């Protein structure tokens, strides 16, 4: 890869990362701030459990906001790595983070702590967050390695 291409790849990738973070943060803010209004259309009026379901739904939307940001970042970074023809190691990192960290912590947090159903979402967020971090580190190393070859 030429030095000019590495510079272009770096600029495009970081622009993509920034855009994904900006858009997902905007959506996350919408989920957090507008959660009471997003939930109401899906509830039956006068149902016995509506108050409990209402509170849980708002809580889950707020947790989903965090999940959304992590998912956007890992998806964009994974795509950038595919563009660099780096697929095998990112696949292993993703599988490890999703299944070992994500599913494992989701199980632990939901079954072994008092978090219950919230623990599932926290665990899945841990899996996605760790995937995003590890893939970003992989992407940075890959660009540094390409730059040193020149």
Contact 138, 81 (CB under 8 A): yes
Give the tens place of pLDDT for each residue, 61-99. Answer: 999 999 999 999 999 999 999 988 999 999 999 999 999
Give the model's pLDDT for residue 54.
87
Mean pLDDT of the chain: 90
Q: What is the pTM of this model?
A: 0.85
Per-residue model confidence as pLDDT tens digits over 33-66: 999 899 888 887 766 667 888 888 999 999 999 9
The Cα–Cα gap between 51 and 66 comes to: 24
Cβ neighbours for 146, distance < 8 A, ≥ 6 positions apart? 1, 6, 84
Residue-range definition of the domain harbouring residue 96: 3-149
Domain count, the chain: 1
């Amino acid at each position: 890869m030429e030095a000019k291409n590495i510079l272009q790849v770096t600029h495009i990738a970081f622009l993509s990362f920034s855009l994904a973070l900006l858009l997902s943060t905007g959506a996350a803010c919408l989920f957090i701030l507008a959660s009471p209004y997003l939930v109401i259309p899906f509830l039956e009026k006068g149902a016995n459990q509506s108050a409990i379901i209402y509170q849980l739904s708002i809580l889950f939307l707020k947790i989903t906001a965090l999940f959304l940001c992590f998912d956007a970042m890992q998806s964009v970074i994974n795509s950038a790595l595919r563009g660099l023809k780096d697929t095998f190691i990112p696949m292993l990192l993703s599988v490890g983070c999703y299944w070992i960290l994500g599913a494992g912590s989701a199980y632990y947090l939901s079954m072994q702590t008092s978090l219950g159903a919230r623990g599932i979402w926290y665990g899945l967020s841990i899996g996605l967050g760790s995937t995003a971090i590890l893939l970003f580190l992989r992407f940075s190393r890959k660009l540094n390695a390409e730059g040193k070859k020149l």
